[in-house]
Amino acid sequence: MAGKRSCGPFVWKEEYSVNLDLIDNHHKKFIDILNNLHSVISHKPSREDISDIFFSLVYYAENHLVNEEIYLKESEYSSFNQHKEKHNSFVGRIIKFQKDFKEGKQDVCEDLYDFLKDWLKNHILKDDREAISSLKEDHNK
């Protein structure tokens, strides 16, 4: 059986687009981080390599998630609170992974990779797309 991480690297596809550069560019950035992590864990990572990944993730969370929230709030997205709750939970998990890493817990990278893959599939390619398309429907009414 192939290893569970054999499915990388992920490649951005036009069908992922929500037709908003602000959001698409950040989603592309997220895929870069995911691929960086994949590449790092394939080659005996140093602690510095992993620290860099956490730095990118915290930056992603502070910039992208907040910008997206501002956009959804200003657009009066009806499920804004639930969406923000998912972002908060994502940030909470990243902080927990970072803490585990600092404390020397084994397998943090593998678990983090699985968690980020899940976020790509269930949030970026699902929740975010649903949010943006529901706004477009509202605006066309």
Binding residues (CB under 5 A) for Fe ion: these are: 128
- The smaller minimum CB distance to Fe ion, of residues 128 and 135, is found at 128
Residue with tokens 């950040």: 26
The SS3 call for residue 24 is helix
CA distance 134 to 111: 32
- The smaller minimum CB distance to Fe ion, of residues 18 and 41, is found at 18
- The smaller minimum CB distance to Fe ion, of residues 34 and 128, is found at 128
CA distance 90 to 112: 11
Beta carbon of residue 71, minimum distance to Fe ion (angstroms, whole number) = 10
- The smaller minimum CB distance to Fe ion, of residues 108 and 135, is found at 135
Beta carbon of residue 1, minimum distance to Fe ion (angstroms, whole number) = 33
- The distance from CA 135 to its chain's CA centroid, rounded to whole angstroms, is 21
The residue sitting closest to Fe ion, measured at its beta carbon, is 128
Beta carbon of residue 47, minimum distance to Fe ion (angstroms, whole number) = 30
- The smaller minimum CB distance to Fe ion, of residues 18 and 128, is found at 128
DSSP assignment of 29-86: HHHHHHHHHHHHHHS---HHHHHHHHHHHHHHIIIIIHHHHHHHHHTT-TTHHHHHHH
> Which has the closest alpha carbon to 58: 22, 95, 25?
95
Beta carbon of residue 31, minimum distance to Fe ion (angstroms, whole number) = 15
Beta carbon of residue 102, minimum distance to Fe ion (angstroms, whole number) = 27
